[in-house]
Every structure is written in C-alpha cells, then in structure tokens.
C-alpha cells in the first residue's frame, strides 16, 4: 500500500526557511519520480519541484534558486529558503505509478510579510 505523509510546514516570516518532508512507504522511491505541488488559497495546484529516479531535478521558475528537492532513503525533502509571502499554501507530495496517482494529505506553509 502506497502512503505519502508530509510534515514540516508552519508559520515563518518572509526571508526565513522551512524544510518539508514526505515520508513514503510501499514504493521504491529510488525508482520513482516524485513531485512537490502547492496550492494557494483560491488558486490551482501547481508544480513546485520534481525529482526523477536519475536524480534530475526540475523547479518552477518562481522557486528556482530558493528551493531544493532531495531524497534520502524513503523520504523526500523540500528545502525552502528565502521564503516569500507568495509561497504560502498547502504543499503536497505526489507520485504517479502505473497502478495509480498518489497524494499525501498536505502540509500548510504560511509566510508572513
């Protein structure tokens, strides 16, 4: 059974940092592409960062140079630095497999200006 559990969100001042975690189970993470998305209030969910099995990372233009996605064992991290108010939202990790499209429950990030 595939499970994704995000943690690490919270309230932070603009310019601060947070590290989000996505603990996975039921998958071979090293062989999967995993993606962080976020959804701001009243907006559509958007891709933030993605990591492929070959360790190629991709980022939304809005977070390039500030966010870093990484993988250690069965956990995926999103290091977020120089946070801005527009980074506020609920952050979700996602993995798409042949058997289904899996989401975590999300973790909320609020950046105060």
Q: What is the pLDDT of residue 30?
A: 84
**What mean pLDDT, rounded, does the chain reach?**
96
Q: How confident is the model at residue 63 (pLDDT cuts 50, 70, 90)?
A: very high
Whether 78 and 36 have beta carbons less than 8 Å apart is answered as yes
pLDDT above 90: percentage of residues in the chain: 88
How confident is the model over 72-98, as a mean pLDDT?
A: 96
How confident is the model over 55-59, as a mean pLDDT?
A: 96
Q: How confident is the model at residue 34 (pLDDT cuts 50, 70, 90)?
A: very high
Q: What is the pLDDT of residue 94?
A: 97
How confident is the model over 33-52, as a mean pLDDT?
A: 96
Number of Cβ within 10 Å of residue 96's Cβ equals 13
Phi-psi region of 31 (alpha: psi -120 to 50; beta: other; left: phi over 0): alpha
Q: 39 burial class (0-12, 13-18, 19+ CB within 10 angstroms)?
A: middle
Q: What is the pLDDT of residue 111?
A: 98
């Amino acid at each position: 059974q595939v499970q994704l559990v995000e943690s690490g969100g919270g309230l932070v001042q603009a310019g601060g940092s947070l590290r989000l975690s996505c603990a996975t189970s039921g998958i071979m993470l090293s062989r999967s592409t995993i993606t962080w998305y976020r959804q701001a209030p009243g907006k559509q969910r958007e891709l933030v960062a993605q990591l492929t099995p070959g360790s190629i990372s991709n980022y939304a233009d809005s977070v390039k140079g500030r966010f870093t996605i990484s993988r250690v064992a069965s956990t995926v991290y999103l290091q977020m630095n120089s946070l801005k108010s527009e980074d506020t939202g609920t952050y979700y990790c996602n993995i798409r497999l042949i058997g289904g499209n899996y989401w975590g429950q999300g973790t909320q990030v609020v950046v105060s200006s």
